[in-house]
Structure 1
Amino acid sequence: MTERRSILSGSTFEDEFGYARAVVDGDHIYVSGTTGFDYSTMTISEDVAEQAAQCLRTIAAALAEAGCTLADVVRVRYLLPDPADFALCGPVLREAFGTVRPAATMLVCGLLDKRMRIEIEVDAVRRG
């Protein structure tokens, strides 16, 4: 039987909206859209590049709990209200994924809270 389990980050959003930070289903890990909030303090930087870095720290922690790293990411989705902010995140994203080169999509859309300037969602595959 395939392993399926949820990974929680402690975000109040997970309880409020009934989801998990990540779901492990066999060797596949699906990480929910993750914003720049430091979920331990529920604070968020105004700087979009710092928000992107915080997104990646939260995602990396969820992946670690699933037995993976950012190097195992095969798909990434970036969601931003302002497309001009994407270029400001470039150095942070390149540092995380420049050698990994996952399939990627960037979408322009509204986010739940006006302080949120980026949301990142990833899929990863655990290697044996």
Structure 2
Amino acid sequence: MSVRHISTGSPFEAQIGYSRAVVADGWVFVAGTTGYDYATMAMPDAIEDQCRNTLATIDKALKAAGSGLDHVVRVTYIVPDAADWPRCWPITSAAFATARPAATMICAALQNPEMKIEIEVTARVPA
């Protein structure tokens, strides 16, 4: 089995010991991703902006793997406050309009208090 690891350069990847994405046997597994702007390590306050940043980071990792948001088959959303989640719907609906992946939303605490959403995806590498 051929395995390739993809990094976004996030300091968390080295500190915690994980890859942003792993490509194996035609699948791309993207780690739980939060809304940091990894160029500046700034975290926006609004969940909508965090959601956009998160999806941009995921899209970048998927593209590095030879895939993209249109090839996502499974997505998991984690939010600490379920009341915030509906504000992300227009953003996630637009991002996954083509893929329409199987999805789950979980309400749970995240690593840092400023984090308002974490997203994890599984995608296929198109033939």
TM range (shorter): over 0.9
Q: Which runs of 4+ in 1 moved over 2 A?
A: none
- Let me know the Cα RMSD of the aligned residues: 0.7
Is 2:17 the partner of 1:18? yes
Query: What's the CA shift string for 1:77-120, capped at 9, x where partnerless?
Result: 00000001110101110110123210000000000110000000
Distance across 2 between alignment mates of 1:77 and 1:104: 6
**Separation of aligned partners in 2, 1:40 and 1:29:** 23
How many residues in Structure 1 have an aligned counterpart in Structure 2?
127
Q: CA deviation at 1:73?
A: 0.2
Alpha-carbon distance between aligned partners in 1 of 2:8 and 2:27, rounded to the nearest angstrom? 18
Q: How does 1:1-128 map to 2 (within 5 A)?
A: 2-128=1-127
Amino acid corresponding to residue 38 of structure 1 in structure 2: D
CA–CA separation in structure 1 for the residues paired with 2:8 and 2:113? 22
Q: Which runs of 5+ in 1 are unaligned?
A: none
Structure 2 unaligned residues grouped into runs of 5+: none
**TM-score, normalising length: structure 1:** 0.97
